[in-house]
Amino acid sequence: MRNLIDILDFSTEEIDGLIAVANDIIDNPEKYRDVCHGKILGTLFFEPSTRTRLSFTSAMMSLGGQVLGFDNAASSSTAKGETVQDTIRMVSAYSDIIAMRHPKEGAPIAASRVATVPIINAGDGGHYHPTQTLTDLITIKRKSGRFDNLTVGICGDLKYGRTVHSLIAAMSRYENVKFVLIAPDELVLPDYVKEEFLKTSEYTETVDLEGAIPSLDILYMTRIQAERFADRDEYERLKDSYILDASKLKCAKSTLSILHPLPRVNEIAVDVDDDPRAHYFEQAALGRYIRMALILKLLDTKGVDDRRTDGKEDPTLECRNPHCLTLTERGIKKLFKEGKCIYCDQTAVKI
């Protein structure tokens, strides 16, 4: 059994395969209409979502399968104090595959260690969001025609933006991809993401969106993630750090692709929507087809996910990431590998 917890769980060849299937689904939807007849997708959303949950639901329905789940933790037994791992044990018995979103980092890994069906990470806190990255990748492939030789600008909340972390992980595997990381000083890319994925890629960091635009092939805008701020005043101060509008695009390449995982708040003015380089609504629409391809792949795959047996207990180490699931989940085994917490990837502290 395979899972999708982190985008690097799939090789670049596997990603090409998913995109090929998604393109075939777009061209021949009738071929796929009943292929998941009798299968059930569990959608466990402990955090708000529009696109991700509905596109997963639409994907499974379009394959002839059915969907069960919840769209908020308050209506699940989490409200009664149930752990993530117990919820997953149960839903594994009621479904054939699970897509889950959780506010704590590492929750999908904890889930995958007890699940008896494939787990898809539909977003874990400010950590990763690999299915958004699949959506981003199919859009990049269809619009730019390639993954290599691209200058990719990523703008906004690079600290808490989980879609950013997964996109960088994915794109760093291709030849001659240059990243331009555009963020206020308070919201720069975390060190653990740089250490994991940017060791061999060229990147620059800047606060200047307008100055960066002319060099870009892709501009990936993101929302400032209000819900992750401990300090509301800081959010208020930073929320309008970047607003992309038509005037800022005057010096952009004619082949630029403007992407956004959505939802947008203020960071893209509506006057950009009619620009032929604005692809974010089409990007969201493509999410349905790439998720159909993903469901088919995971229901079919016999492989093994090493993470299920990864890591060791070590009483001399402690994960101090306040957003890691292991700090709140009762009874969870705290596991480490190469000095890092296996759930959230952050370096553990020696005690």
Task: Summarize as ranges the residues that interact with ligand NCD (CB under 6 A).
Answer: 51-52, 123, 129, 132, 162-163, 223, 261-262
By CB atoms closer than 10 A (0-12, 13-18, 19+), residue 26 is middle
User: Is the CB of 92 or the CB of 135 nearer to ligand NCD?
Assistant: 135
User: Is the CB of 52 or the CB of 172 nearer to ligand NCD?
Assistant: 52
User: Is the CB of 54 or the CB of 114 nearer to ligand NCD?
Assistant: 54
CB of 175 to ligand NCD, least distance (A): 28
CA atoms within 13 A on the CB side of 130: 19
Full DSSP string of 266-294: SSB-GGGTTSTTB-HHHHHHHHHHHHHHH
DSSP helix/strand/coil, 166: helix
CB of 146 to ligand NCD, least distance (A): 24
From 190, 141, 186, 185, select the one nearest 168 (Cα to Cα): 190
Residues 207, 43: Cα–Cα separation, whole Å? 38
User: Is the CB of 164 or the CB of 212 nearer to ligand NCD?
Assistant: 164
Residues contacting 184, CB < 8 A, separation 6+: 207, 238, 241
CB of 262 to ligand NCD, least distance (A): 5
CB of 167 to ligand NCD, least distance (A): 11
CB of 260 to ligand NCD, least distance (A): 8
Residues 98, 105: Cα–Cα separation, whole Å? 17
CB of 287 to ligand NCD, least distance (A): 8
CB of 254 to ligand NCD, least distance (A): 27
CB of 91 to ligand NCD, least distance (A): 21
Contact 39, 198 (CB under 8 A): no
Residue recorded with tokens 């060849």: 13
CB of 188 to ligand NCD, least distance (A): 17
User: Is the CB of 144 or the CB of 163 nearer to ligand NCD?
Assistant: 163
- What stretches of 114-271 show up as alpha helix (H) in DSSP? 130-144, 162-171, 191-197, 209-212, 232-238
- What stretches of the chain show up as alpha helix (H) in DSSP? 12-27, 51-62, 84-94, 107-112, 130-144, 162-171, 191-197, 209-212, 232-238, 280-300
User: Is the CB of 261 or the CB of 311 nearer to ligand NCD?
Assistant: 261
Residues 343, 91: Cα–Cα separation, whole Å? 21
User: Is the CB of 39 or the CB of 162 nearer to ligand NCD?
Assistant: 162
User: Is the CB of 53 or the CB of 113 nearer to ligand NCD?
Assistant: 53
Residues 128, 160: Cα–Cα separation, whole Å? 10
Residues contacting 28, CB < 8 A, separation 6+: none
Residues 109, 130: Cα–Cα separation, whole Å? 13
User: Is the CB of 92 or the CB of 121 nearer to ligand NCD?
Assistant: 121
